[in-house]
Homo-oligomer: A and B are copies of this chain.
């Protein structure tokens, strides 16, 4: 495209390019494709009736408030509900520690805004969530990466990395995007201890934590941090916790939240005021209305059942048809699993082949900050039916076989 001479973009904008994922996903939008590419919840179990009822109640009882401008922090009843009911047990917080954001993506962006100077380092997992990198890249951040394996972020090399002086640590302890792995308790404890020792705040991103298919919930980093401080005020804490209704209710509402010490919330509120004034009041009221009386817990149980079945079917299909030399993770929850191909296979080539066979996934390279991961792929199991999963996995395994030596 021709650049008119009168549009002089910022240095920041000149480095922005459409993400590979975004471009690839365009290929996957055709209706007859089986897509394991996105991170989309299963729309067929969206609680549409509950939304219909909630929308009516909100408009009938709070219409004028729900359609008006609102406070930047979010509406009080929802913040209260999150503080009391929808944050992990042991996190002793008040509504003042909760900021409602327009999706967790906004939380990541605002955190970049308030913490990162040009050239600062953030410590991330390798691989890590691509959306976080997209949010932070425009602020001129650099990354230090720590490998993740079947037990989550590997903490054995952490101390060396912390001595490099990162501004923040970014961790996805539960059913990590993209790998689907969960950080072990031992590693969580070590991470909390070292982060405290080196004075580096942690962002604990937990969109999937409630979608656990088996085993017990593991204590969040935020709660471990509190325990270590032996009951001191939450505001002394070292962890910023992110969660969302996108995976438990619906993503189309764009309602997520940050739980953080007051001093961090204060800065985030100022940044959010400049970014979008506040998150839609209407949807906050609806989320509150749907979630307040125990509906959400029942609905989460339903989601867990559906996704567990889909994961099981996918793992069975993998066992059945994946060629030797290919390995994959066995997630205890969440939306994704992760495939490792033999080193010599480039998953972008597999992707191009797969799309011709009408099946899609995300080549894993984008989730790495160092250009590695060419032989990896992220597979979503929440957004396809059992039948599609079986068929799609067979097609993918065929595409992989084509590239095997």
- Given A59-B48, A67-B253, residue A135 in contact with residue B7 (CB < 8 A): no
Chain A, interface residues (CB within 8 Å), range: 35 or more
Question: From residue A170, how far is it (CB to closest CB) to chain B in Å?
Answer: 15
Residue A84, interface by CB 8 Å: no
Residues of chain B contacted by A115 (CB below 8 angstroms): 8-10, 13
CA distance A117 to B344 in the complex (A): 42
Residue A306, interface by CB 8 Å: no
Residues of chain B contacted by A4 (CB below 8 angstroms): 235-236, 261, 263
Residues of chain B contacted by A103 (CB below 8 angstroms): 276-277
Q: Which of A1, A10, A52, A235 has the most CB of B within 10 A?
A: A10
Residues of chain B contacted by A8 (CB below 8 angstroms): 115, 167
Within 99-158 of A, Cβ neighbours of B (below 8 Å) are at: 102-103, 105-106, 109, 113-117, 120, 131, 134-135, 137-139
CA distance A271 to B275 in the complex (A): 12
B117 touches A18 (CB 8 A): no
Q: State which of A86-94, A279-287, A357-365 sits at the interface with chain B.
A: A279-287
Residue A298, interface by CB 8 Å: no
Residue A313, interface by CB 8 Å: no
Residue A19, interface by CB 8 Å: yes
The 10 A-B residue pairs with the shortest CB-CB distance, nearest first, are A67-B250, A43-B64, A55-B55, A13-B114, A67-B252, A252-B281, A48-B63, A16-B270, A6-B199, A106-B276
